[in-house]
């Protein structure tokens, strides 16, 4: 079972998003050992809050082989390409941690440090929906890799 983690700044507050996230977490269970960690958003002036968030994110990513930030300017991939990318990392045994930033995004210094960045879409989504979209795309990627009918 492949280990994956999601680090999310902020909590899922909306019941429908909580239910959908749990739905995809349950569906992912046969494919991956997935850990979701919620960190509180930084407080105060945005630049200072982002620096605080970045310090806490860095501490969590120290032992991760392949940290991935979800950013608007990150690389866009279709589902098949994402699946191949995920499969390649799995084949190399790289632990992955996907990081969903706060409502202010990420500290620029952290973005400069983390090489792997992906975008879920050129559209802007609320953070709660972004987590659900990421979970669904991870599930889709695993079904593509395993030749399951979900993606068809």
How many residues belong to the chain?
152
Q: What is the CA radius of gyration of the chain?
A: 15
Specify the DSSP class assigned to residue 115: -
Q: Is the pLDDT of residue 108 over 90?
A: yes
Residue 124 pLDDT class (50, 70, 90 cuts): confident
Whether residue 2 contacts residue 32, with contact meaning beta carbons closer than 8 Å, is answered with yes
What CATH number should be reported for the domain whose range is 2-151?
3.40.1280.10
Q: What is the model's pLDDT at position 132?
A: 97
Does the structure show a pLDDT above 70 at 91? yes
- Return the pLDDT at 31: 93
The model's pTM is 0.94
Quote the tokens at residue 55.
């310090």
């Amino acid at each position: 079972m492949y280990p994956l983690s999601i680090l999310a700044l902020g909590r899922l507050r909306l019941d429908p998003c909580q239910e959908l996230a749990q739905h995809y977490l349950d569906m992912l269970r046969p494919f991956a050992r997935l850990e979701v960690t919620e960190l509180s958003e930084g407080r105060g002036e945005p630049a200072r809050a982002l620096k605080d968030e970045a310090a806490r994110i860095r501490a969590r990513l120290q032992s991760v082989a392949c940290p991935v930030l979800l950013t608007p300017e990150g690389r866009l991939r279709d589902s098949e390409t994402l699946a191949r990318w995920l499969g390649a990392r799995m084949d190399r045994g790289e632990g992955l941690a996907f990081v969903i930033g706060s409502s202010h995004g990420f500290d620029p210094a952290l973005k400069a440090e983390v090489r792997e960045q992906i975008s879920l879409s050129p559209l802007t989504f609320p953070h709660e929906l972004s987590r659900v979209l990421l979970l669904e795309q991870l599930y889709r990627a695993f079904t593509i890799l395993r030749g399951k009918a979900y993606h068809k």
